[in-house]
Copies of this chain bind each other. A is one copy, B any other.
Amino acid sequence: MAKEKEMQQLSEVTVRFAGDSGDGMQLTGSQFSETTAFVGNDINTLPDYPAEIRAPAGTIYGVSGFQLHFSSEGIHTPGDQPDVLVAMNPAALKKNLTEIKKNGIIIVNTDAFDAKNLKLAHYDSNPLEDGTLEGYIVFGVPISKLTENALEGTSLSMKEIARTKNFFALGLMYWLYNRPIQNTIDWIQEKFKKNPEFIEANTKALNAGFNYGEMTEAFTTRYDVVPAKLPKGTYRNISGNEATAYGFLAASVQSGLPLYLGSYPITPATDILQYLSNFKNFGVKTFQAEDEIAGVVSAIGAAFAGSLALTTTSGPGLALKTEAIGLAVMTELPLVIVNVQRGGPSTGLPTKTEQADLLQAIYGRNGEAPVAVLAAKTPRDCFYMAIEASRIALKYMTPVILLTDGYIANGTEPWRIPSVDSLPKIDVKFRTEKEGFYPYLRDEFLARPWAVPGTPDLEHRIGGLEKANIYGSVNYDPDNHNKMIHLRAEKIKNIENDIPELEVDGDQQGELLVLGWGGTYGAIKEAVIKSRAMGMKVSQAHFQYLNPFPKNTGEVLKRFKKVLIPEINLGQLAKLIKSEYLIDVVQFNVIRGLPFRVSDIIEKIKETLGGKNGK
Q: A residues near B, CB below 8 A?
A: 50-51, 61, 314-316, 318-320, 322-323, 326-327, 329-331, 343-350, 352, 354, 356-357, 359-360, 362-369, 463-466, 476, 478-479, 481-482, 485-486, 488-489, 569-570, 574-576, 578-580, 582-584, 590-594
What distance in Å separates the Cβ of A60 from its nearest Cβ neighbour in chain B? 11
In angstroms, how far is the closest chain B Cβ from the Cβ of A316? Answer: 5
A344 with B368, Cβ < 8 A, contacts A465-B349, A578-B582 known: yes
Q: How many whole Å from A438's CB to the nearest CB in chain B?
A: 20
* CB closest chain-B residue, reference A369: B345
Which residues of the partner chain B approach A362 to less than 8 Å between Cβ atoms?
A: 363
In the complex, the answer to whether A592 meets B478 with C-beta atoms within 8 Å is yes
CB pair B316 A326 closer than 8 Å? yes
Residues of B within 8 A of A322 (CB): 319-320, 322, 360, 364
Known: A576-B579, A578-B578. A326 touches B349 (CB 8 A): no
A-B contact pairs, 27 of them (CB 8 A): A61-B476, A319-B326, A319-B366, A320-B322, A320-B323, A326-B346, A343-B367, A344-B365, A344-B367, A345-B366, A346-B464, A347-B465, A348-B366, A348-B367, A352-B478, A356-B368, A360-B366, A363-B363, A368-B591, A476-B593, A478-B594, A481-B591, A481-B593, A486-B570, A578-B580, A578-B582, A582-B582
Q: How far is the CA of A18 from the CA of B352 in the complex (A)?
A: 59
B352 and A367: CB pair below 8 A?
Answer: no
Of B51, B316, B330, B360, which is within 8 A of A348 by CB?
B330
Which residue of B has the minimal Cβ distance to A590? B482
Q: Known contacts A364-B365, A575-B579; decide if A349 and B481 are in contact (CB<8 Å).
A: yes
A363 x B365 contact (CB < 8 A): no
Give CA–CA (A476, B354) in the complex, Å: 13
A367 touches B357 (CB 8 A): yes
A314 CB contacts on chain B under 8 angstroms: 366
Docked Cα-Cα span, A350 to B481, in Å, equals 12
**A321's closest neighbor in chain B, by CB?**
B319
Contact A319:B365 (CB < 8 A) given known A579-B576, A579-B579, A593-B478: yes
User: Given A368-B344, A569-B368, is A323 in contact with B330 using a C-beta cutoff of 8 Å?
Assistant: no
Is A592 in contact with B481, judged by CB distance below 8 angstroms? yes
* 9 residue pairs, one from A and one from B, having the closest CB atoms: A344-B367, A315-B366, A478-B592, A347-B464, A345-B367, A579-B579, A345-B369, A346-B464, A364-B364
Q: Which among A354, A476, A583 has the highest number of chain B CB atoms within 10 Å? A: A476
Chain B hits for A346, CB < 8 A: 323, 326-327, 329-331, 366-367, 369, 464-465
Bound complex: CA A104 to CA B77 (Å):
73
A348 near B464 with CB under 8 A, answer yes
Contacts of A366 in B (CB 8 A): 314-316, 318-319, 344-346, 348, 356-357, 360
| Smallest beta-carbon distance A373→chain B, Å | 13
Cα distance A569–B348 in the bound complex, in angstroms: 32
Q: Which residue from chain B places its CB closest to the CB of A578 in the assembled complex?
A: B579
Q: Which residue of chain B lies nearest to A325 when distances are taken between CB atoms in the complex?
A: B319
Distance of A584 from chain B, by nearest CB (Å)? 6
Which residues of B lie under 8 Å from residue A318 when comparing CB positions?
A: 366
